[in-house]
Structure 1
């Protein structure tokens, strides 16, 4: 009986737990509620994925109202994959959180952090599960508003300013998305995504459809932090508390990519986007400019959080390259990179949080020689950095290899060459940190440091270990990505 309601429980559990954290008013009670909720949500995500793989897509009608008159939740192989990413990173981040929060956020605000974190997770999961286009916007705003609040909790005075910058740009993006949804509703008279797809004419349809696609694409580009609409991201990741950066960096932009892929493959069709319109060429151009500019910017950063933030902008470019190829191989590579980048970047930001905990700084100049006094933490950076570069036997290699082979299959030789060159830039900025940790004389701060507490190191190594695990055992991550790509292309034909 309960299993039939898992799609809605996925949303209801964290949504109801958030006010309970506020009512508890106690940080330990709030933490217990948040931890149990994230673990339960992860268990639901695993069960939904298992059900989808065994029986196919799950359709859940809210209130018993059939679509398009009622709101429908749909869990298919693509949405289940992204749900798994979000719920897994939420659970592992919550296990990691307490020591880092004690260092970076006032204890009196901890229960508010847990409540807001659960709301952010609710919004991200809701975007993945809903089949109603306006619901996508509602959940997007729930996750965005809670993200602004979480970022503003940073201990420096720049954190509220970074949150305000994100709010302004995020509001512009949300407005564009809402205008696009309104135009689609004007044309079709429905908000159900499957119903919209069946009613719009992508061959000789009105120009309104082109305008709607343009508005929604630009709005989602802002949310994805696609270059040059990325300006909110470096400050947001840099000045947010470490725990917030871990979760937001691993999930928020990936869910926005999910929404974009749904728009292209589930509503307007790739034939219209990539053949009638030259969106594939535009995507490739923006992706490569973003990869090279952001990777170059990362090389010159002294703040390690900002270094990883620019790296994230570049990695979104790789995901969009896979989408732009409009082939099953390309989509598989792009979707696999969503998963792989989530665990790699989440793990690296966890490492940064461990260093911040002991050294009190995320400036590279203060990390000199810390590899000698914090060996376990430094080794975690080295392994995660190899994954970010895409070295064999790491998850990063798998998705980049899939993207390379997809480019060769599509005879996009220039794409393959540029991808290989761009990976060299990642070597440079990852090595800068490794060199500072292992080959520099220890700074005064580093001499007195010890490894981070086990409550932070163990979750960090779980995520960093997953980088190696999914680089060797590719059946699960790459296999699920291939299932999702096949479903998306099958649904668009």
Structure 2
């Protein structure tokens, strides 16, 4: 039955569809086929989420080999949420990419563009689904290698995309090397790479080899998720990649890496590992510094995509801050922010892509008077921007509110009130850079250029994501509850994590 194969279907369907997409002769056919595959994957991911929410984590042994002898997919509630989120955003971005790619990608490369998109999508889903630590590395590299290509395809409009892709390649390879070295050290000690088995064998063990493996793994994942100060690849990659690629990567890639970090923190090492307290302290400090550093840099940038790219580094700091609390409320708040930030950044980058389609630029100077010449796109951008700041009735307000609540409930060396004040201060920095763009769009006179009409295929996904941003700012109780339940599953799965709650 299909239900028995739910954990693997959202991974293999886009992977097997990619070669077919490569054979399709034009942008519309390739894009439509990729969109259909994304919708099918989303349907299966949503079914998986409903099943996991009802019966608990699901394991699927590939080739009939049971855990821990074979490679096993294991999907818990947090994983099901992330898989549903990634497939939902793919379902929205892929139709947007059809018209966007016609404008930004060399025509002979559009079929390869959508094939790479599907491979990237499959890799991200695989990172979340697998219960084998080495396969996390495999799927990370599948998604990363396709992403390097996707970023480089932006060279039709700006040759700096090639430099951005090369920088991403070098730093991504360093991160992957660190990660796989860490896995090798753990394998040397335990003789297994199954995540559940690794956890069992690491309980009570604490030596220099394990600590080195811990450090290598989290350094590698830190590079993948663009954790400050290992974020060097992200601003250029987001700025010079094709618009649809930026919208998809900004909303999924770093979020999947955050989930991988959570799996290793709690599913494998847990709180009994003596190095854990030091790691959570690092997350706290780096999260806070990243929030302020990246937001400050964003204020002084003149490229809107670059501004939003640096804001992504700052928002990753909020997620790390929630994780650093090492409580159900803190991890739940991080998961809520993962969801809300993915939605708001998709909204923002699709709006920026629409401006680029209409005017051929994402410099701030091109945004003068867009409130008059492109009112719908301006409205969509402002909704995403208000959510980024954390204004009430937007999704960003909800995620920051639950993070503040988690901060008051945490026990940290830095007083909770000071952490809350820093969250508020960082949000005020977001007001500065979002306010600059809003001022330019609403209060400055339009340029002499007449914008091209943005196609409905690009407008509809933008409006949908703007509506989702508002919806989850008004009614987010279900989202908060399911994220908290996912955090409970991560921190207290019957594997001895209860002490941190």
Matches of 2:437 and 2:455, distance apart in 1: 21
RMSD of the TM alignment (CA)?
Answer: 1.2
- Give the drift of 1:10: 1.3
Q: Is the 8 A contact 2:148 2:168 kept in 1?
A: yes
- Matched position secondary structure for 2:66: coil
**In the alignment, is residue 143 of structure 1 matched against residue 143 of structure 2?**
yes
Q: Tell me the residue number matched to 2:90.
A: 90
- Give the drift of 1:55: 1.7
Matches of 2:342 and 2:222, distance apart in 1: 18
- Give the drift of 1:200: 1.3
Q: Tell me the residue number matched to 1:418.
A: 422
Q: Tell me the residue number matched to 2:240.
A: 239
Matches of 2:16 and 2:436, distance apart in 1: 45
- Matched position secondary structure for 1:278: helix
- Matched position secondary structure for 1:414: helix
Q: Tell me the residue number matched to 1:267.
A: 268
Q: Tell me the residue number matched to 1:427.
A: 431
- Matched position secondary structure for 1:314: helix
**In the alignment, is residue 373 of structure 1 matched against residue 373 of structure 2?**
yes
Q: Is the 8 A contact 1:384 1:464 kept in 2?
A: yes
| Distance 1:451-1:428 versus aligned 2 partners, 3 A rule | farther
Kindly report which structure 2 residues correspond to 1:117-128, keeping only aligned pairs within 5 A, or say none: 117-128=117-128
Matches of 1:468 and 1:270, distance apart in 2: 37
- Give the drift of 1:23: 2.3
- Matched position secondary structure for 1:73: strand
- Matched position secondary structure for 2:74: strand
Q: Is the 8 A contact 2:203 2:273 kept in 1?
A: no
Kindly report which structure 2 residues correspond to 1:15-414, keeping only aligned pairs within 5 A, or say none: 15-154=15-154, 155-202=157-204, 204-272=205-273, 277-410=277-410, 412-414=416-418
Q: Is the 8 A contact 2:61 2:72 kept in 1?
A: yes
Matches of 2:20 and 2:217, distance apart in 1: 35
- Give the drift of 1:476: 2.8
Q: Is the 8 A contact 1:374 1:450 kept in 2?
A: no
Matches of 1:25 and 1:189, distance apart in 2: 48
Q: Is the 8 A contact 2:367 2:441 kept in 1?
A: yes
Q: Provide the TM-score with structure 2 as the length reference.
A: 0.96
Matches of 1:377 and 1:223, distance apart in 2: 31
Q: Tell me the residue number matched to 2:471.
A: 469
- Give the drift of 1:273: 6.1
- Matched position secondary structure for 2:60: strand
Q: Is the 8 A contact 2:211 2:275 kept in 1?
A: no
- Matched position secondary structure for 1:272: coil
Q: Is the 8 A contact 2:24 2:30 kept in 1?
A: yes
Q: Is the 8 A contact 1:376 1:451 kept in 2?
A: no
- Structure 1, unaligned stretches of length 5 or more? none
Aligned length: 489
Matches of 1:4 and 1:111, distance apart in 2: 32
- Give the drift of 1:238: 0.4
- Give the drift of 1:271: 3.9
- Give the drift of 1:143: 0.2
Q: Is the 8 A contact 2:206 2:274 kept in 1?
A: no
- Matched position secondary structure for 1:74: strand
Q: Is the 8 A contact 2:323 2:334 kept in 1?
A: yes
- Give the drift of 1:162: 0.4
Matches of 1:388 and 1:39, distance apart in 2: 27
- Matched position secondary structure for 2:273: helix
Provide Cα deviations, 1:250-272, integer angstroms capped at 9, x if missing partner. Answer: 00000001001111001111342
- Matched position secondary structure for 2:193: coil
Q: Is the 8 A contact 2:23 2:111 kept in 1?
A: no
Of 357-366 and 23-32, more deviation after overlay is shown by 23-32
Q: Provide the TM-score with structure 1 as the length reference.
A: 0.97
Matches of 2:354 and 2:72, distance apart in 1: 42
| Distance 1:471-1:443 versus aligned 2 partners, 3 A rule | same
- Give the drift of 1:460: 0.4
Q: Is the 8 A contact 1:38 1:87 kept in 2?
A: yes
- Give the drift of 1:68: 1.1
Q: Is the 8 A contact 1:373 1:451 kept in 2?
A: no
Matches of 1:365 and 1:253, distance apart in 2: 29
Q: Is the 8 A contact 1:358 1:450 kept in 2?
A: yes
